Amino acid sequence: MKHKRCIVIGYGNPGRQDDALGIEFALRVEKDKHLSMLCDVHYDYQLNIEDSLTISEYEIVVFVDASLDGEQPFAFERISPSLKISFTTHSLSAESLLALCEELYRKSPIAYMLAIRGYEWNLGSEMTSEAAENLLKAFRYFNRFVSNGFCESEVTCSRGVLFH
Amino acid sequence: MARKITIEPVTRVEGHGKVTIQLDPHNNVIDSRFHIVEFRGFERFVQGRPYWEAPVLVQRLCGICPVSHHLAAAKAMDVIVGVGPNGLSPTAEKMRRLMHYGQMFQSHALHFFHLVSPDLLFGIDADPSIRNVIGVAIKHPDLAVQGVMMRKFGQEIIKVTAGKKIHGTGAIPGGINKNLSIAERDEFLKGADPLNVKKMIEWSLAAVNLFKDYHKKNKDFIDNFAAFPSNHLSLVRKDGALDLYHGVLRAVDAEGKKILNDVDYQDYLKYIGEEVRSWSYMKFPYIKSLGKKDGWYRVGPLARLNTVDFIPTKLAQKEFEEFKAYTKGKPNNMSMHMHWARLIELLHSAEVIEELLNDPDLQKDELVRKGKKVKEGVGLIEAPRGTLFHHYRINDNDQIEMANLIVSTTNNNEPMNRAVNWVAVNQLSGKKEITEGMLNAVEVAIRAYDPCLSCATHALGKMPLSVSLVDADGNVIDKKEK
């Protein structure tokens, strides 16, 4: 199967209010006529070791997650392979996944983390209105990023992080 | 000066763990406790919701093992819709079994390759920058690739049986919402290497052998680390076979004497109590006939291989016989043998998946059955980490009015505390300096049980664990985060 140039990986628990941000973002990309022609989409509760194989097949990877205390409305930054190992099977960072991809498949996709700020994490499928607004802003930004040939240079601040 | 070592979460997220080891001025261990901030709001959350929503709603609890909650809730709802635990159509039951064994396979594979193999391949006191899954990928790339592909295989099984990647809808009250097409079946039976069931069986067997080889060379560590006698509890099939999906409830003591003799789990409240202790949010379950002090028990792979009489698949049975012979048929009370048991179950799961894939019932069309509705139902399942209890009662409007869940990690609360205490007393007490290796020893003991610590949310900024060294005045002397 021929892959697109970019894959968007959204993750989180959609049953936990704003933790749904990553998955909601991925679903919007999947439904968008323009973006879905240029990006494949994957979503899950969390990142998993087998995702290292998936990302090895793309040139660009955009991870999308909710952020607990990050910048508002969102931050978009380049990330690199790095060792961040948890002591349980319950979490794997995007950076660790990139490191695993590099070691196992000798591939180093260009990777970004789109961290959309969330506020409430209780049981329930209702996202807060603030988080929904942040999602919208992040989505608009991503649209420009893709239209710009997957280049963030026009809209990125000096630290490599975009704050809207 | 007395001091306290604390391994604790940095955020408020439900489900995180904290280890506190209290030392006296001479660094001798006074006490140790393993706290898990269990989330208890779910029972209230489902109140008022229609009962048929439960199998989907419960997946909000946990992004790690949603399939276990999905199936346990569906089993309880089978009772409520009057089909009962034994009344599903063959297609429905076998599709659920395929989903469940797919989950068991991927979960056990992940645990072994991601968490345990670094400790075994590099040693628990090795440099943590090497002792991790990336280290395995560098030094043993073939093994790491196996771990990745085994996870992927299990996840694909879940995807075709649960129907959706997130909040799967496969199991519904009284049945299942789809069967398995020939094309889907053949992907798993005849897929290109390595993603086919034959290769999964071959690799599972290799993983068992890897552990046995390590055991031969490290007998003292594997046999003695955090070993202590306990009771063991699990579901078993009516004929005593290992059955991870359904059965009767059996418990044995440390010598193998039956405490619960194959009882109907619909009556679990007659046999199981839950103790509250002031210092922990998580309850401590116990077998009522033995009382709170002596009635605690282990659940999970080790407990299961201690309660069952045999394993109904050929290769796993052979390994089971070797496992049982090691303790001369008596229950195995060695915490590190949990890994051995888990790998035997990994092999068994792969064999069951193969059997199910070859079963033509999976292509038949009777998906759902109906019966006479009742107000209350209990669903039990053997989740990867142990026995999972779901209990619901509904009102005249078909709304859930009561829910009670006992999750696997809650069942293992006391054993995990005992394991941490063993490490504290045997490896930390009297030492002048607490090294990273010693702290990892605490984690190794906890890891054997693979507790479900952070099931709910995984948003950026939520670190799963931090390690703090605190003196008697409450000053943080040192802090590490993982």
- pLDDT, tens digit, 9 for 90 and up, residues B157-194: 999 999 876 778 899 999 999 999 999 999 999 999 99
Q: Which residue has the higher pLDDT, A87 or B390?
A: B390
Q: Do B369 and B174 meet the contact criterion of CB atoms below 8 Å apart?
A: yes
pLDDT tens digits, A121-145: 877 778 999 999 999 999 999 999 9
* B139-157: pLDDT as tens digits: 888 999 999 999 999 999 9
By the 10 Å C-beta count (0-12 exposed, 13-18 middle, 19+ buried), A99 is classed as buried
Residue A15 CA to residue B298 CA, distance in Å, equals 30
- Which two tokens mark A26? 């991925």
Strands (E), B426-474: 466-471
Q: Touching check for B462 and chain A: CB below 8 Å?
A: yes
pLDDT value at residue B28: 80
Residues making up chain A, counted from first to last: 164
Q: pLDDT, tens digit, for every residue of B281-292?
A: 678 899 999 999
pLDDT digits (tens, 9 = 90+) for B98-120: 999 999 999 999 888 887 888 88
Specify the long-range contacts of residues B246-254, CB closer than 8 Å, at least 24 apart: B246/B75, B246/B85, B246/B86, B246/B381, B249/B380, B249/B387, B250/B307, B251/B287, B251/B297, B251/B307, B252/B306, B252/B307, B252/B331, B253/B331, B254/B229, B254/B230, B254/B331, B254/B333
Range of the domain at B473: 3-40+412-481
Provide the sign of the torsion angle of the four alpha carbons B207, B352, B345, A90, taken in this order: positive
- Interval B343-359: pLDDT, tens: 999 999 999 999 999 99
* More confident: B442 or B201: B201
For the stretch A11-30, pLDDT in tens is 988 878 898 999 999 999 99
Dihedral angle over CA of B442, B447, B452, B456, nearest 10 = 80
Q: What is the pLDDT of residue A148?
A: 87
Asked if residue A38 lies in contact with residue A49, where contact means CB atoms within 8 angstroms, the answer is no
Residue B210 contacts A, CB cutoff 8 Å: no
DSSP letter at B331?
Answer: P
Query: Across the interface, do A99 and B460 touch by the CB < 8 Å criterion?
Result: no
CA distance B308 to B384: 16
Question: What residues of chain B, 161 to 200, have a C-beta less than 8 Å from chain A?
Answer: 165-167
Tell me whether residues B11 and A68 touch, CB distance under 8 A.
yes
B81 is a domain residue: no
CB contact under 8 A, A89 and B113: no
- To test the contact with chain B by mutation, choose from A45, A46, A57, A93 the residue with the greatest count of B C-beta atoms within 10 A, namely A45
Contact B148 A49 (CB under 8 A): yes
Mean pLDDT of B198-208: 97
pLDDT for B279 equals 66
Beta carbons within 8 Å of B444's beta carbon, 6+ residues apart: B119, B124, B225, B226, B423
Integer distance in angstroms from the first to the last C-alpha of chain A? Answer: 37
Nearest CA to B389 out of B299, B324, B456 is that of B299
Residue ranges per domain, chain A? 6-155
Tell me the average pLDDT across B241-246. 98
Q: Of B72 and B41, which is predicted with more confidence?
A: B72
Chain A contacts of B166, Cβ < 8 Å?
14, 23, 43-45
pLDDT of amino acid B162: 92
Displacement of CA B344 from its chain's centroid (Å): 14
Strand partners, A64: A10, A114
**Nearest CB partner across the interface for A43, out of B129, B138, B166:** B166
Would you state the pLDDT for residue B462? 43
Instruction: Kindly tell me if the per-residue pLDDT of B466 is higher than 50.
Output: no
**Total domains present in chain B:** 1
Judge whether B415 and B449 are in contact, CB under 8 Å.
Answer: yes
Crossing angle between the packed helical segments B337-357 and B90-110, to the nearest 10 degrees: 140
Q: Which residues of A touch B458 (CB under 8 A)?
A: 11-13, 19, 45-46, 65, 90-91
- Which of residues A112 and A46 earns the better pLDDT score? A112
Query: Is CATH 3.40.50.1450 the right assignment for the domain spanning A6-155?
Result: yes
Q: Does B450 touch chain A (CB under 8 A)?
A: yes
pLDDT at B116: 84
Model confidence pLDDT, tens digit, residues A91-124: 678 998 999 999 999 999 999 999 999 998 877 7
pLDDT at res. B136: 87
Q: What is the C-alpha to C-alpha distance for residues B379 and B391, in angstroms, rounded to an integer? A: 6
| CB pair distance less than 8 Å for A86 and B456 | no
Q: Is the minimum CB–CB distance between B139 and chain A shorter than 8 Å?
A: no
Is residue B85 included in any domain, yes or no?
no
Three-class secondary structure of residue B282 per DSSP? coil
The SS3 of residue B393 is strand
What angle in degrees, to the nearest 10, is found between the helix axes of B66-80 and B141-162?
Answer: 30
| Residue B367, min C-alpha distance to chain A (Å) | 27
Contacts of B397 (CB under 8 A, 6+ apart): none
Structure tokens of B298?
A: 């282990």
Q: Write the burial class of residue B191 (CB in 10 Å: 0-12 exposed, 13-18 middle, 19+ buried).
A: middle
Query: What's the N-to-C CA distance of chain B in angstroms?
Result: 27
- Chain B residues in contact with A66 by the CB 8 A cut-off are 457, 459-460
Instruction: Kindly report whether the global pTM for this prediction surpasses the value 0.90.
Output: no
Per-residue confidence band for B17, with pLDDT thresholds at 50, 70 and 90: low
User: What is B190-242 written as a DSSP string?
Assistant: HPSTTSSHHHHHHHHHHHHHHHHHHHHHTHHHHHHTT----EEEEEE-TTSB-
| Confidence category of residue B76, pLDDT binned at 50, 70, 90 | very high
Sorting pLDDT into bands at 50, 70 and 90, what band is B10?
A: very low
The Cα B146–Cα B162 span in angstroms is 24
Q: Give the B window 105-124 contacts with A, CB below 8 Å.
A: 107, 110-111, 113-115
Distance CA B420, CA B428 (A): 11
User: Does residue B275 fall inside a structural domain?
Assistant: no
